[in-house]
A and B are shown apart, each in its own frame.
Chain A
Amino acid sequence: MRKLVLLGIAVCFVVMALGIVAFAEEKKEIHIGVTVPGLFSPAFVEMKRQGELKAQELGVKVTVVSAENDIDRQFEQVRDFIAAGVDGIVITTIDSHGIVKAVEEANKAGIPVITVDRKSFGGEVFYHEETDNFNAGRLCAVYVAHLFKDNPGPIEIFIERLDPSVDSVEDRFQGFMFEVSQWPNLKVVAAPNLGMDVGKAFDATINAFQANPNIKVIFLPGEPWLSGTVSALKQLGKWFPRTDPNHIVMVGVDGDQFAVENMIEGYYDFSAVQAIDKFVADAIEVFVQYFREGKKPPVKERYVPVLGLCPENFDFIKDRVWGYRVYMEQKGKQ
C-alpha cells in the first residue's frame, strides 16, 4: 500500500512539473518548429527574437529550441517536431551532412523544411536563405589590408579561431586566411582553437599577447567572443581608442550590438554584418504564405549580401545593421 502511495506521489510530481505549462497555451492553427545551433551568440538570440515577433504578428505558434552545437540533439529536435505534429520546420544546421537524415524524415512525414544560414546536403528543402560566410571573413581581411596598405609590416594578427567542426565560423576563418595570403605585409602569429566556449576568449587573448607582444590586429570570426577579449585587453593595458597610435585594430563578423557599441565608442574597427536576424522571420513568413494562401516563394534560394560596417560608412548604413537596431532599443530602455 505504501508503495502505491509513493508511486502516486511520484507520478503527480512529474505531471505537475509538466502540466502547468502545457495547457496554459491556446491552440493556434499553424505551429512552426525552429532549431538553432546555440544561443550563446547575440546573432542567434536576435534571430530567435525576430522570429517570435513575426510569429506573433502573423498569429502563428513558433517553438524555438537550441541544439547546443550537438548534431545528434538537433536530429532529435527535428524528430520531436515531427512527433509533435508541427506544420513546418526551420533548421539552422550545425552540420550540413549530419542533418540530411533529419530532413529526409521530415520529407517522409510530409512536413516542409526551410534551411537558413547553412544548407543541407540532401533531402528536399522548401526554401533556403544564407549569407556568405567565406566572403564575410574575406571582407574583414580586405579592410585590414586597406588600413595597412602603406605599411611594409609585418603586421602581426591574432585570430580567435573557433571550432573547425562548426562550418559557419570555419568558413569565415578560411575566407580571412585566403585574403591575408594575398598580402605579404600581413602575418598571422596566433590562431588558437577556442572550441565554441565563449569563456576562453579572455585567457586566449592574454596568452596570445604574452607570446607576441606586438600584435596589431585581432580578428574575431564570431563577435560573441568580443567581451572576453575586451576585458583581457583592458587588463593588459592595451585598450586604446582609434585615435591613439597604440590602438589595436579589431575586426569581426556578425554585426551584433556589442560590436556596434564599441565602434561608436571608438574602439572597434570593422564588422562584417550578417543579416541573419531576419532569417527565421523570413522563413516563418514564407511558411505562412504557403499554408494560408498556397503561394510558394518566388526563388528557392536567397543569398543575402554581407555589409561591411566601419567608422567611415557608419552613419550611412547604420540603419541596415541589426546590431545597431538592438543597441538603440536597449539604450532606449535604460
Chain B
Amino acid sequence: MKNVKAIAAGQFIFLFMVAFFVFMAVVSPQFRTHYNLFNLWLDAVITGILGIGMTFVIITAGIDLSVASSLVFSAMIGAILMSRGQDVLLSFLVMLAVGLGFGLFNGVMVARLKMVPFIVTLGTLSLGRGLAMLSTRAKSVYGFPEIVTRIGSGEIGFFPIAGLIMAFLYVVAWYVLNRTVFGRSVYLVGSNPRAARLSGIDVERVKSLVYLVSGLCAAIAAFIQMGRLNAAKPNMLYGLELDVVSAVVLGGTSLFGGKGNILGTLWGTMVIVLIRNAMVLFGVSVYYHQVVKGLVILAAVLIDILRSGVLRKQ
C-alpha cells in the first residue's frame, strides 16, 4: 500500500517534468540545441547524486544538511593531493574515505547517540566548511589530470560521462531500495521503527548506514565537481544542501519518513534544473529565480497535500 502511493507521487513529478520539457522544446529554439541539453544533464549531476544519499536519509525520517560541506571538503582534499602529484585513483579513494568519515560521524551521532539529525548535520555543515577553508587557507586549487576533467565534463558520443555515471548510480540505488532486504528495512525503519525492531532489524545500524551512503555520494559528486571547473574552491556551492532537500521533497519523498521514491528524486532534480534553464533562456531577472524556485516547491507540496486528502479529513 505504501509503495503504491510512493510510486504514484513519483509519477506526478515525472509527468510534470515531461510536460515541461516538451513545452520548452517547442517554444525555445535555444533549448533544443545539443549544447544546451548536454549542459542541462550535466547541471543535474551534482544535485542528483547528492539526492540519492539524501533520499536514503530522509526515508529513515532523518536529514543530512552537511552534504554540500562534505562535498567541498572532499574536493579540497582530493585537489590538494592531485596537485601534489598523487595518483588520481589514490586521491579518489582518499576522497571516498573523507566522505565516509563524515557519514560515519553523522551516523553515529544520530543513530547511536540519538541526536536530532537537523542540528547534528548543521554542526557537521559548519565543521566541514571550516575544515575546507582551513585546508588551503581559502585559496583555490586548480589544474587536475586530464582524466578528472574528462569525467567531470567530457562526453561519450552525445552523452556527458558524468550524466551517465549519475544514471548508473540511480539504477543501483533503485535496485538497493526496492529489491534488497536493506532497502526494505530502510523504508520500515522510517515508517515504523518499533515494527522494524520487532522484525529483527537493527534499527540503529540502518539509521547510521544511510548517512554513510550520503557521505559516499558526496565524495563521488565531489570528484565530478572537480572535473567541472578544473578547480576546487572552499567557498563554492553555498546553499546547495537546500536545493538537494527540495529535489527530494519534490520527488515525493516524505520528510516524516517511510515513504519515498528514488526515481522521484531524479525527476525532482531535473525539474529544478529545467526551470532554471527556462528562466535563463527567457531572460527572467536573476532575482526572480529564487522566487520561482520557492513558488514551485510550494506548489508541488500543496498539490501533494491536496492529493493525499489530508485537508479533507478536517
Contacts and interface: CB of A to CB of B under 8 A. Distances in A.
Interface of A: 3, 6-7, 10-11, 13-15, 17-19, 21-22, 25, 63, 65-66, 68-73, 75-76, 79-80, 82-85, 95, 97-98, 100-102, 109, 163-165
Interface in B290-312: 292, 295-296, 299-300, 303, 306-307
Given A6-B306, A17-B295, A84-B283, A71 B19 contact: no
A18 B282 contact: yes
B237 A101 contact: no
Contacts of A84: 30, 280-281, 283
A10 B299 contact: yes
Closest 10 CB pairs of A and B: A22-B282, A165-B138, A97-B142, A80-B280, A98-B231, A83-B36, A72-B236, A164-B138, A65-B286, A101-B230
B218 to A, nearest CB: 15
Given A18-B278, A22-B284, A98-B142, 4 more contacts: A7-B16, A13-B299, A22-B282, A72-B229
Contacts of B149: 101
Contact of A83 (B228, B275, B280, B288): B280
Contacts of B300: 10
A203 to B, nearest CB: 18
Interface string B13-36: 001100110010000001001011
Given A70-B237, A165-B233, A63 B283 contact: yes
A176 B304 CA distance: 57
Contact of A163 (B138, B285, B306): B138
Contact of A11 (B20, B225, B282): B20
Nearest to A69: B235
Given A11-B16, A11-B23, A71-B229, A165 B303 contact: no
A70 B20 contact: no
Given A14-B20, A76-B43, A98 B140 contact: yes
B140 A165 contact: yes
B231 A101 contact: yes
Nearest to B139: A165
Contact of B284 (A18, A71, A163): A18
Nearest to A102: B229
A97 B292 contact: no
Contacts of B282: 18-19, 21-22
Contacts, number: 122
Contacts of B230: 100-101
Interface residues of B, number: 52
Contacts of A19: 282
Contact of B296 (A14, A101, A102): A14
B171 interface: no
B292 A18 contact: yes
Contact of A75 (B19, B229, B280, B299): B229
A63 B286 CA distance: 10
Interface string B135-162: 0011110110000010001000000000
Given A7-B16, A76-B43, A66 B35 contact: no
A109 B38 CA distance: 14
B236 A70 contact: yes
Contact of B279 (A18, A69, A71, A100): A18
A165 B72 CA distance: 15
B39 interface: yes
B27 to A, nearest CB: 9
B215 interface: no
A214 B24 CA distance: 63
B12 interface: yes
Interface centre among B133, B286, B295 (most CB of A within 10 A): B286
A94 B282 CA distance: 26
Contacts of A65: 286
A11 B19 contact: yes
Contacts of A85: 30
Contacts of A25: 283
A165 B238 CA distance: 14
Nearest to B29: A85
A271 B236 CA distance: 31
Contacts of B36: 83
A11 B16 CA distance: 7
A13 B16 CA distance: 12
B306 A14 contact: no
Given A71-B231, A84-B281, A7 B292 contact: no
15 contacts: A3-B12, A6-B307, A18-B284, A21-B282, A22-B282, A22-B283, A66-B286, A68-B238, A71-B140, A71-B233, A72-B236, A95-B231, A100-B142, A101-B229, A165-B133
A100 B140 CA distance: 13
Contacts of A63: 283
B234 interface: yes
Contacts of A7: 12, 15-16, 19
Contacts of A83: 30, 33, 35-36, 39, 277, 280-281
Contacts of B30: 83-85
Nearest to A3: B12
B234 A165 contact: yes
Contact of A100 (B138, B139, B231, B237): B231
A13 B295 CA distance: 9
Contacts of B306: 6
Contacts of B142: 97-98, 100
B237 A95 contact: no
Contacts of A68: 238
A79 B237 contact: no
A65 B288 CA distance: 12
Nearest to A64: B286
Given A14-B275, A79-B39, A98-B140, A21 B283 contact: yes
